[in-house]
Amino acid sequence: MGEENKELLELHVDDTITGKVVRLEEKQVLVDIGYKTEGILPISELSNLHVESTNDVVKEGDELTLKVKKVEDDEVILSKRAVDSELAWNDLVEKYEKGEVFETEVKEVVKGGLVADVGVRGFIPASLVETFYVDDFTDYKGKKLTVKIVDLDKEKSRIILSHRAVVEAEENEKKVVLLQSLEPGQVVEGTVQRITNFGVFVDLGGIDGLVHISQLAHEHVEKASDIVSEGDKIKVEILSIDRDNERISLSHKNTLPGPWTNIEERISSGDTLEGTVKRLVNFGAFVEVLPGVEGLVHISQIANRHIGTPQEVLEVGQKVNVKVLDINESEKRISLSIKELEQEQAEQEYKQYEKEEEEFGIHLGDLIGDKLNKYKK
């Protein structure tokens, strides 16, 4: 008996020992540690995380490394949590110093964030889970997340983890690679992220570029939202890149067929078109016949009579009908005439008048003939 007591007395608080699980009870686990009595491992000392049932963590026959928490008479209280914590803290300090990224499993969803098992109880605040706002974290329980340690205090047993920092670092790396790969003149596809009164921000796959409102279309654009909507996939040409300030200028207009492209398939000589007077110059008037396509009505083609300036007959914004005299796609030039249409109109009216005169004459002849016949009788 004295020998056994002596053995028990040699067991001190904080000693690390090994033992085998012999029985699982509701609130504790009994462990054979080779002494007179079996050691007691309370459920609260099984893990750094909340444990519902002892068999969630250990099973009979398991060999465990444990720390002595208390020695009192024949009772020995043991802790698995203390050993796990010691090992985990050493590992975590190393990870923290290296800024290491590692995977962990979310064990609980609590107020203000998530609890993860990193050997000790790690906390991921709600604001450090994602780069975007998450309304409900229920689905995160049991989910594996890549994290890095952002704050660590062994004294207070506090460890703060961040998944957001990992995502941001990955996005930043992608951004750097993307910035290096882009060159002016390249045409790429992007997604419209944000529409402002001065243009559109387009996501090129991790970095945004700006399409100024003047670069959205060939024609004048009043509101960017008239041309694109958020979420639209659009092609853009890279105009310039400022890598230091991460600024990219883009053009959507340059990826679209120009207003003059295939113009000769859409307009032919002899066509009559409606247009809008855009500019008046001393030698004639420029009339827009299609968006972005202007033709010239030479001063000699404006009216049938001689005029000194186009302003005598036309004004900016006026709608006019014009006849196409000549068209040249390569030189982006169209010659138009208002005079010819007026002449054609006058000729038509004269022909109509002649026709009516003729018909009237025939009708009159018949009528007079009838009357004369009566008198002949």
Same-domain pairing of 196 and 228:
yes
Q: How confident is the model at residue 210 (pLDDT cuts 50, 70, 90)?
A: very high
Which range has highest mean pLDDT (27-41, 81-95, 310-324)? 310-324
Q: What is the share, in percent, of the chain residues with pLDDT greater than 90? A: 50
Long-range contacts of 271-275 (CB under 8 A, 24+ apart): 271/323, 271/324, 272/321, 272/322, 272/323, 272/324, 272/341, 273/321, 273/322, 273/323, 273/324, 273/336, 274/319, 274/320, 274/321, 274/322, 275/319, 275/320, 275/321, 275/322, 275/336
Same-domain pairing of 92 and 161:
yes
Q: Where is the domain boundary, 168, 195, 213?
A: 168
Tens of pLDDT, residue by residue over 166-205, are 999 998 888 888 888 999 999 999 999 999 999 999 999 8
User: What DSSP letter does each residue of 67-125 carry, written as one string?
Assistant: EEEEEETTEEEEESHHHHHHHHHHHHHHHHHHT--EEEEEEEEETTEEEEESSSEEEEE
B/e letters for 278-287, b = 16+ CB within 10 Å, e = fewer, are eebeeebbbb
Same-domain pairing of 271 and 221:
no
Residue with the larger pLDDT of the pair 368 and 290 = 290
Is residue 370 domain-resident? no
Same-domain pairing of 242 and 288:
no
Tens of pLDDT, residue by residue over 235-283, are 999 999 998 888 999 999 999 888 888 888 889 999 999 999 999 999 9
pLDDT greater than 80 at residue 374:
no
B/e letters for 198-209, b = 16+ CB within 10 Å, e = fewer, are ebbbbebeebbb
CA angle, residues 320, 321, 322, in degrees to nearest 5: 115
Q: How many domains does the chain have?
A: 4
CATH for 91: 2.40.50.140
Tens of pLDDT, residue by residue over 88-103, are 888 899 999 999 999 9
What's the whole-number average pLDDT of the chain?
A: 87
Average pLDDT over residues 329-356: 86
Same-domain pairing of 93 and 67:
no
Same-domain pairing of 250 and 267:
no
Average pLDDT over residues 310-318: 93
Same-domain pairing of 41 and 23:
yes
Nearest Cα to 39, choosing from 7, 61, 17?
17
196 beta partners: 199
pLDDT greater than 60 at residue 123:
yes
Nearest Cα to 96, choosing from 37, 165, 184, 16?
165
Q: Where is the domain boundary, 32, 61, 79?
A: 79
Residue with the larger pLDDT of the pair 368 and 299 = 299
pLDDT at 7: 47
Is residue 123 domain-resident? yes
Is residue 119 domain-resident? yes
Where does residue 129 rank: exposed (0-12), middle (13-18), buried (19+ CB within 10 A)? buried
- Token code pair at residue 203: 């996501």
User: Are the C-beta atoms of residues 81 and 36 closer than 8 Å to each other?
Assistant: no
Count CA atoms within 13 Å of residue 303 on its CB side.
Answer: 10
Same-domain pairing of 154 and 124:
yes
Same-domain pairing of 71 and 134:
no
Tens of pLDDT, residue by residue over 50-106, are 788 887 888 888 888 888 888 887 788 998 888 888 888 888 999 999 999 999 999
pLDDT at 75: 86
Is residue 366 domain-resident? no
pLDDT at 8: 46
pLDDT at 5: 45
pLDDT at 6: 40
Poorest-pLDDT segment among 106-115, 139-148, 345-354: 345-354
Where are any strands of DSSP class E within 220-332?
Answer: 233-242, 247-251, 272-281, 284-290, 293-298, 319-328
Same-domain pairing of 159 and 88:
yes
pLDDT at 52: 84
Q: How far is CA 100 from CA 65, 93, 250, in A?
A: 27, 10, 37
Is residue 322 domain-resident? yes
Average pLDDT over residues 351-371: 67
pLDDT greater than 70 at residue 366:
no
Single pTM value for the model: 0.52
Same-domain pairing of 43 and 99:
no
B/e letters for 73-105, b = 16+ CB within 10 Å, e = fewer, are eeebbbbbbbbbbeebbeebeebeeeeeeeebe
Is residue 175 domain-resident? no
Same-domain pairing of 89 and 164:
yes
pLDDT greater than 50 at residue 4:
no
Is residue 217 domain-resident? yes
Domain that includes residue 107, residue range: 84-168
Cα–Cα distance measured from residue 176 to residue 206, given in angstroms and rounded to the nearest whole number:
9
Q: Where is the domain boundary, 168, 201, 231?
A: 168
